[in-house]
Amino acid sequence: MAGVAKLFDEHILDKSNQEVNLNDEKYKGKVIGLYFSAHWCPPCRGFTPILIDFYKKHSEDKSFEIIFISSDSDEESFNDYYKDMPWWKLDYKERDKRNELAGSFKVSGIPNLILLDGDSGEIICNNAREQIQFQDKKGENFPWNGETKAKASKSCILL
């Protein structure tokens, strides 16, 4: 998992606020989704329940995890939005890391779900939201290798 682990400098937390060691053998071979989202964004609030359902149905058989990377403007909003999400999170206090990741992955709008090969850190799919919400709702072709063509999905612009 060294690929994705290097991106986060050990600032990933699980639902219990315990640090996740992405170098642990149990995460070897996983697909890691980076979920850029925020409570204030209506398209995010529409997509998050769809993603939660997809994750609960497929995270084990598809061997993937998701890391929530918040664009919320305060920690209270972050916590309120995250409370129903079943996956990991980038600690809200890591705003510089969030900005660095958004820049590195050219995230200009949310919601945005990018799938990475956990071992190498390489991008597998740069628009998994499109696949889950519109193209392949059952995940039959997960992890959708290669670039996907985006439909006119509504997004909130990040400044």
List, for residues 65-86, the tens digit of each pLDDT value. 999 999 999 999 999 999 999 9
Position 152 scores a pLDDT of: 46
What's at 29, amino acid-wise? Answer: G
Backbone angles phi, psi at 74, to 5 degrees: -150, 155
3-class DSSP state for residue 119?
coil
Q: Residue 147 pLDDT > 70, yes or no?
A: no
pLDDT tens digits, residue range 11-48? 799 999 999 999 889 999 999 999 999 999 999 999 99
pLDDT at 5 over 90: no
User: Taking the model in full, what pTM does it have?
Assistant: 0.93
Region of poorest pLDDT, from 45-49, 75-79, 126-130, 145-149: 145-149
Q: Mention every residue, 6+ apart, whose C-beta is less than 8 A from residue 143.
A: 31, 62, 64, 115, 124, 125, 128
Rounded Cα distance, 133 and 26, in Å: 29
Give 36's contacts (C-beta < 8 A, 6+ positions apart): 69, 71, 102, 107, 110, 111, 112, 113, 114
**Domain 2-8+29-146 -> CATH class:** alpha beta
What is the rounded average pLDDT of the residues 48-63? 96
